[in-house]
Amino acid sequence: MNAHDALKITINGGQFVCMAYLADLSDADLMRRAAPGINHINWQVGHLILSDHDHISAILPGSMPPLPEGFARAYSRETAGFDDPASFFHKSVLLEVFHQQRAALLTALDSVSAEGLEQASPDRFQSFAPVWANLFELAGSHWLMHCGQWAVVRRQIGKPPLF
């Protein structure tokens, strides 16, 4: 096993858990907040897609497909408190964009050498991702951190635990 393999285990593990939590949730379910002040699931999913896109685009410009028009605005910090579903993308679009971005992220990972993974990340990421490997790893762990909140919503609406 090498660093690329380990990163793929983290990335794919996060994807497996998160997609399982989202699988049977409706668009209305995605607008729920686990508690007051917590971002709703729809916003969190868009934020995660946007984060992956921004992280990898910053180190490998042109490697990620463009996001749909209005996507970055819809999932900005300014919209985190919005509750109008019309302000956000539908689940089907979010998942389509996720799969496009994830495929490109994995292709980008394959394009980087082992030494490349040790390159310093841009200054704006240094506090949480000092090297490129950290930015790729976030495509698993960042998603898992957020989906812990989705488990709470699932229980609130009567869905069974998955794991």
Is the distance from CB of 23 to CB of 110 less than 8 angstroms? no
Q: pTM to 2 decimals?
A: 0.96
User: Tens digit of pLDDT for each residue in 83-141?
Assistant: 999 999 999 999 999 999 999 999 999 999 999 999 999 999 999 999 999 999 999 99
pLDDT over 90 at 163, yes or no: no
For residue 162, the model assigns a pLDDT of: 86
Contacting residues for 153 by C-beta, under 8 A, at least 6 apart: 25, 29, 32, 33, 34, 41
* Percent residues over pLDDT 70 in the chain: 100
What mean pLDDT do residues 10-21 have?
A: 97
φ/ψ of residue 8, rounded to 5: -65, -35
Specify the CATH class of 3-156 in words.
mainly alpha
User: Tens digit of pLDDT for each residue in 67-80?
Assistant: 999 999 999 999 99
Six token digits for residue 128: 């949480």
* Percent residues over pLDDT 90 in the chain: 98
Residue in 9, 110, 4 with CA at minimum distance from that of residue 60: 110
Q: Domain map of the chain by residue range?
A: 3-156
pLDDT over 90 at 161, yes or no: no
Whole-number average pLDDT of the chain: 97
